[in-house]
A and B are shown apart, each in its own frame.
Chain A
Amino acid sequence: MNGLVEILGLTKAYDEHHVAVSNISLTLPRGKIIGLLGPNGSGKTTLIKMLNGLLMPTAGSIRIGGKPVGVETKAHVSYLPDRTYLSGNKKVKQILDYFADFYKDFSRERAVGMLQSLGIEPDARMNTLSKGTKEKVQLILVMSRQADLYVLDEPIAGVDPAARDYILRTILNNYNPNSSVLISTHLIGDIEQVLDEVIFMRYGHLVLYTSVDNVREKHGKSVDAYFREVFAC
């Protein structure tokens, strides 16, 4: 079977001096939880935006489920951006309506169930929720879709450890052998045991793509420790 995501010679240059992603080729399989790791400015978010069709590559191509990124692939990619995009004065349940309207693969039942288990009121307005709760609501929305690929940009930054555990458990509970989850983060230690594979990026280049247990076996240290070594300043 072909990979879920096929990236070939992908490059994004904002201008000739600012190459954010440089000639990356990569095939991601189905059924994996994959960490996208790299220091600030390594090109993670630029890559993610190209996967979602929010930025056009300067060169190279991306195929998801065999199709070039576009309207069709967007219906099968569930994306959690690194900043909020939900309108503050909307109620949680109104946002559920939006998602149900927008995405055929959205399960309101699943979302309502998860909101309930966290004690989040569907009648609450987004701007009355704490930062951590808002992030949980957004993750719940994104994970309530029946997508092929989930792309989570920094889902655990800026939330407390209990919320982080909840987020990781939500990702694990929604695991499905036909879809993959790509999680970008620089907080590796917290999510290492949840990941199958890791992608290391630096200065827009692909440094390494391997399994977590491979790193541990080969280098006798955690991915977190190895990352600090590779990217030591």
Chain B
Amino acid sequence: MAWVFDDGRPIYAQLVEQLQLKIVSGVYPPGEKLPSVRELAAEAAVNPNTMQKAFAELEKSGLVITQGTNGRVVTQDGERIQDNRQALARQQGKAYFSGMERLGYARGRAMEFLQDMAGEVRE
């Protein structure tokens, strides 16, 4: 039961995110055949119908392509993967700024803080 889900959001949406992450990070490289719905559902310990719904979503966005009886593969379209990576990065950025806002940091100060931190992390 290696996949972890948080409470407040639909499970299929979280599956979509986690699969997107695996694709843009290269765990599933472009053109690679994906495990079957049944296999992935068992691995994530989720309902197969929920996994199916997540795949349908990924197909709609073009990240995953169904090849008839051959199963599903990751798209070879590098641009599309790049777009997805950027969308995920935007989410991270948004989450950072809104989190800092709650802590009382205005945009500018949050930016400065991030820059300082980047230096620290590098060391």
- The interface of chain A, by Cβ under 8 A from chain B, is 31-33, 165, 168-169, 172-173, 175, 193-196, 212-213, 216-217, 220-222, 224-225
Contacts and interface: CB of A to CB of B under 8 A. Distances in A.
Contacts, number: 57
A169 B42 contact: yes
Interface string B11-50: 1110000000000000000000000001001101111111
A174 to B, nearest CB: 11
Summarize B's interface: helix, strand, loop or mixed: helix
B8 A172 contact: no
B49 A196 contact: yes
Interface string B87-106: 00000000000000000000
B10 interface: yes
7 residue pairs, one from A and one from B, having the closest CB atoms: A213-B10, A222-B7, A216-B10, A220-B8, A193-B46, A217-B10, A196-B49
B8 A222 contact: yes
A165 B47 contact: no
B77 to A, nearest CB: 29
B45 A169 contact: yes
A156 B38 CA distance: 22
Contacts of A173: 42
A175 B39 CA distance: 12
Contacts of B10: 212-213, 216-217
A193 B10 CA distance: 10
B46 A175 contact: no
A222 B8 CA distance: 5
7 contacts: A172-B47, A175-B38, A175-B48, A193-B5, A196-B50, A212-B50, A222-B8
Contacts of B49: 31-33, 196
A227 to B, nearest CB: 12
Nearest to B13: A213
Nearest to A222: B7
Contacts of B41: 172, 175
A171 to B, nearest CB: 10
B56 to A, nearest CB: 13
A213 B7 contact: no
A221 B11 CA distance: 11
